[in-house]
A and B are shown apart, each in its own frame.
Chain A
Amino acid sequence: MDLILQLLFTGIGIGAVYALVALGFVLIFRATNVVNFAQGEFSMVAAFVMVVLSVDLGWPYWVSFLLSLCAMALVGAVFNLGVYYPLRHRSFLPVIIATIGASIFLANSVLALYGPQPQVLQGWFDTPGIQLGPVYLDSQYLLIIAVTIVLVAFQYWFFEHTLLGKKLQATSQDKEMASLLGIPVSAMIMLTFVYSALLGGIAGILVAPILFVSIQMGATIALKAFAATIIGGFGDVAGAIIGGLALGVIETFGAAYVSVPYKDGFAFLVLVLFLIFRPQGLFGERVAEKA
């Protein structure tokens, strides 16, 4: 039982990271109908900015965190203007390829500017964790889970109970109709990219004390988050959260009870099963073309 509880906690912690990044995938997909393959790199860039500010410059953690988020808002805006906006009238494929290109550009830019060394970023708390009976609760994982819950609640309130959120929803559902209703579509899409970059950045800064800050950290997380998004149902916020958590738990238990080397395999096995038997994901609506 102790073992199961420990694995469950770790699985939920890892899954919460996937869920945070998956949320960014979902938001951009809903607003633009394209997958942003640079979402993981947002996490990596934010973590490196945090290292520069809090470790290299020695600025207070909170100040560094807020400034890192400001930097990510700027990255999101520039990303929208430089990658999505020029291709907004093209089909989804050129945009997806552009996001892949941007992902490579961001990774190599950080490599060129900062070098290849993985960096250590201290956690938010001085205490690394607490022992609760037989289960060790890593304080950083606890924080990640808490932040995920808060962000999901915020997102629900924002999209369902604010005018701006409803405008964003309208933009994602039908850009032309939204435009006819006077909603500034380009500004809404810009806001979506900024918010997604912030989400990715928060995920990167939170996970950095666990996985270290490296050029590869974004790609590693994004691949799983992408799988979580598909499992949850592309475009569905609740689906991304459940998909991310489920993926984290499945791979942790699969590694413990079946095979450690095939840990990543379990996640992608689930993904393949979903693609075959339920391609719309857990919460996605079945799409059928009318005759």
Chain B
Amino acid sequence: MKLTRRGFSGALAASLAAPAFISRAGAQGTTLKLGMCAPVTGPAAEQGRYAQTGAKIALDAVNKAGGVLGKQVELIIEDDQTTNPGIVLAFSKLAAQEDIVAFLGSIRSTQVHAMAPDVLKLGKPVMIGGTDPALTHMGNQWLFRFRPNDSYSGRVLADYGVNTLGKKKWAIVHSTDAFGTAGGKALTEALGKIGATVALDQGYANQSQDFTPVVLAVKQSGADILGSYFTFENDLGIFARQLRQLGVNVPYVGSPSIVNVSALKLAGPALYGTFGVADYAEDSSEAAKAYGKLYREAAKLPPDNQSAWTYDAITILCAAINKAGKTDPQAIREAILATKGHAGAEGTYNFDANGDGLHGYNVVKNDKGNILFDKHIDFND
């Protein structure tokens, strides 16, 4: 067969145009695609499984109710390996698929920081669970948070410890990652405002195998209460055990990981009697109870915030796309920000202009392994 100039030009033009047609055909496919970066491997793989379960429960409900814009919704999951390079790679793989309209990012602030520049470049909405306040205050309009940020957790921890438990001399132990550092800072600031003192501000590196030096520092500080921001439950488990072994028995209030299912299992009696701020507490509202029932049926496990935030994120995101009536990123963004009074598993969502949906925390107590809801504190400022 002889290749003519016209034939060659035609074939070249068709080759160049084909990807555009193929991707458009995909975009107009039978399903609407959402991307999710989740830790399938690495230290948080267990929590990643909870997060996927929460998202899938919401997805099933959305699809049973008719889907989004008349299509069934499909969730494409990429493993973020529980690392910053891992989530950047996972997000880049998802972002390369043009027909994915929005994404779920990480519950770990440090990972959200790592992926944030790519999110800004892509310009599509990303739902996050990281609680470093800076994430929604650094000029990235595409990040939407489905958990209360740590400026609230710090205030609730400080308020509960000082005004309810009556303790004013604090030791603070926190991870040195973005979440722990921001949390420790928020707690220190909140304590300063209500006249309490910080006797010890102690950071630690994630995945430490031994906390003896930290526990001894707490002991020597003379603090009458301990506050903590732990990122990984296995660290918290080791710390809590050593705390009790080395005779530190002051009241202990902690960030949400202190009431996570994994932490309760690993630390066991070492966390009995502690208090925690929890964005998800099963008895805090009717919506939380309803979600708890769904999760227990699906996962045969008690629910916690690792799955509750992804459940809410998928539910609200799908509702927002339906409300926007199209998959245009800006229209979805505006619809998410317009979400007010939505009763979710984590609380009542009222998005502010920064992209923060929740503005308060529950306080719960670990009563011999059972998490008892005490009260919910919301802030208007």
B residues near A136, Cβ cutoff 8 Å: 245-247
CB of B42 within 8 A of CB of A216, answer yes
Interface hits, A249-263 → B, CB 8 Å: 252, 255-256, 260-263
Q: Bound state CA distance, A219 and B220, in angstroms?
A: 33
CB of A116 within 8 A of CB of B45, answer yes
With known contacts A10-B212, A111-B45, A214-B234, A3–B245 Cβ distance under 8 A: no
B residues near A7, Cβ cutoff 8 Å: 212-213, 216
Q: Is B209 on the interface with A (CB-CB < 8 A)? A: yes
| B41: contacting residue among A116, A118, A212, A221, CB under 8 A | A116
A residues near B325, Cβ cutoff 8 Å: none
Q: Bound state CA distance, A95 and B41, in angstroms?
A: 26
Q: Could you show 24 A-B contacts with beta carbons less than 8 Å apart?
A: A6-B246, A10-B212, A14-B209, A111-B45, A115-B49, A116-B41, A116-B45, A116-B48, A118-B46, A118-B237, A118-B266, A136-B246, A210-B238, A211-B238, A216-B43, A220-B209, A221-B209, A252-B213, A256-B212, A260-B213, A260-B217, A261-B205, A262-B205, A263-B204
Interface hits, A201-251 → B, CB 8 Å: 210-212, 214-216, 220-221
CB of A256 within 8 A of CB of B209, answer no
CB of B238 within 8 A of CB of A212, answer yes
| B216: contacting residue among A3, A128, A220, A264, CB under 8 A | A3
User: Which of the listed residues B208, B209, B233 has the most CB atoms from chain A within 10 Å of its own CB?
Assistant: B209
B residues near A129, Cβ cutoff 8 Å: 245
Interface hits, B202-235 → A, CB 8 Å: 202-205, 207-210, 212-214, 216-217, 220, 233-234
CB of B210 within 8 A of CB of A6, answer no
B interface residues (Cβ-Cβ under 8 A, vs A): 40-43, 45-46, 48-49, 176, 202-205, 207-210, 212-214, 216-217, 220, 233-234, 237-238, 245-247, 262, 265-266, 268
A residues near B266, Cβ cutoff 8 Å: 118, 120, 212
Chain A nearest CB, measured from B346 CB (Å): 23
- How many A-B pairs have beta carbons closer than 8 Å: the answer is 85
Chain B nearest CB, measured from A138 CB (Å): 6
Q: Is A117 on the interface with B (CB-CB < 8 A)? A: yes
A residues near B48, Cβ cutoff 8 Å: 116
Chain B nearest CB, measured from A91 CB (Å): 30
A residues near B208, Cβ cutoff 8 Å: 263
CB of A117 within 8 A of CB of B46, answer yes
Chain A nearest CB, measured from B369 CB (Å): 13
Chain A nearest CB, measured from B257 CB (Å): 13
A residues near B233, Cβ cutoff 8 Å: 118
Q: Bound state CA distance, A52 and B271, in angstroms?
A: 25
B residues near A162, Cβ cutoff 8 Å: none
Mask of A135-164 contacts with B, CB within 8 angstroms, 1/0: 010100000000000000000000000000
Q: Bound state CA distance, A78 and B308, in angstroms?
A: 43
User: Which of the listed residues A14, A111, A115, A263 has the most CB atoms from chain B within 10 Å of its own CB?
Assistant: A263
- CB closest residue in chain A, given B204: A260
CB of A261 within 8 A of CB of B246, answer no
B residues near A111, Cβ cutoff 8 Å: 41, 45
- CB closest residue in chain A, given B49: A116
Chain B nearest CB, measured from A43 CB (Å): 12
With known contacts A118-B233, A261-B205, A252–B210 Cβ distance under 8 A: yes
CB of B234 within 8 A of CB of A6, answer no
CB of B245 within 8 A of CB of A138, answer yes
A residues near B216, Cβ cutoff 8 Å: 3, 6-7, 256
B residues near A116, Cβ cutoff 8 Å: 40-41, 45-46, 48-49
Q: Bound state CA distance, A7 and B213, in angstroms?
A: 7
CB of B268 within 8 A of CB of A220, answer no
Q: Is A108 on the interface with B (CB-CB < 8 A)? A: yes
Q: Bound state CA distance, A261 and B180, in angstroms?
A: 12
CB of B234 within 8 A of CB of A14, answer no
Q: Bound state CA distance, A111 and B79, in angstroms?
A: 14
Chain A nearest CB, measured from B298 CB (Å): 16
Chain A nearest CB, measured from B82 CB (Å): 9
CB of A260 within 8 A of CB of B202, answer yes
CB of A115 within 8 A of CB of B46, answer yes
Chain B nearest CB, measured from A139 CB (Å): 10
A residues near B247, Cβ cutoff 8 Å: 136
Q: Bound state CA distance, A211 and B232, in angstroms?
A: 13
Give the 3 A-B CB pairs with smallest separation, nearest first. Answer: A116-B45, A256-B213, A255-B213
Chain B nearest CB, measured from A219 CB (Å): 10
